[in-house]
Amino acid sequence: MIIIAQLCIVPVKAEDNSSVTSTPKSKWPYLGASFFVPGSGQWMLGHKVKGPAIFIAELTLASTGINDGFYLTGKWQEKIDRVNARLASPFSSRDRLFLETYVPADSLCYEDSLRFYEGEYEYSRAIRDRTLAFTAGFHIYNLLDCYNYLAGPVSTSQARSPKGAFVRALLVPGWGQLYNRSYAKLGLVIMASCGLAANIYAWNRTAGYFEDQETGFARIVDNMSQRIAVEKDRSASCQRELTRLETTLMDQGLSATARDSLLDQQNVFRMQKSAADQKVGELTADAGFADARQETCSKDKKRYLSWRNQNIWYAVAVYFYAAFDALVDAHLSDFDARLGLTVYQRNDGLTAALLYTF
């Protein structure tokens, strides 16, 4: 069997598609069916492939949104609540033992685990919102696509103004398609607009969360730096006193009582210096931890802002595409033409042809 692909531009009669139902008198049964079961209206109108395809696509989107919306966000919220419950109780070794199972491997700090869970919660919430927005947009497309079949072909006597279609599309995305009565394309524009708007909002909100965390860790680093400077000054002051006492103790003329007093002072300053040095070490470790978390939050913020900006560019592309699509459709509104792919039998095999009917 030979399959030949060819491009044909031929005058043909109207397509005899007996499997597709003619335009019914009442549209509501089909629209109602598509509203409650996506794709069923198309199925009832005779589109046996497109109907199930729409149903499967919307079911996939909806199930993904439900998973992210109820399972993942609920999972992270539960962990956040459990850590917050521990934060509200006195800290003890038992608390630390409990919280070790909830904390990232690089830290035993339960506040760090709380930040981690909150970040995952924000990400899951963003995925949930964008998926549900795409699902809602796709459902609108499903209804408009069904209505597009019910409305029937537009007569050439109902030509549209290209300028009017273009201006309308620039003012409100999708208005040009509505003006041209391209209802299926209007549904696609609405779906893309809903999804991209949700993406922009969700990623911007998530970036805002990490920006707040970055600012908080920056304040901690500044506070730690000031406290480190204070403790270093204390250590240096104690060292100066110790140097002075050592010089004084070298005086051979000191009485035993005076020497004992100086030795007591020396021990006190040594203890104070040791405590200050230990505090400097602890604060330096805390500052390093906060600085690392600040850098991580900064990277996360930049990543989500980058995703937001990408979706802004996608939205701009959809906006101009919808405008020029409306312009082209309006130009062709007075030309009875149809582009389609068909397969038909020939003596030497099957021929796949792209037909331009006029």
pLDDT score for 69:
74
pLDDT at residue number 76: 86
Rounded CA-CA distance 120/102 in Å is 13
Q: What parts of the chain have a pLDDT lower than 70? A: 1-25, 86-111, 153-158, 335-358
Backbone angles phi, psi at 353, to 5 degrees: -130, 140
Q: Looking at residue 2, what is its pLDDT?
A: 40
CA 282/CA 39 separation, integer angstroms: 64
CB atoms within 10 A of CB 336: 12
Q: Is the pTM of this model over 0.75?
A: no
Q: Note the pLDDT of residue 89.
A: 62
At 64 the pLDDT is 83
- Report the C-alpha gap between 88 and 164 in whole angstroms: 63
What's the pLDDT score for residue 19? Answer: 52
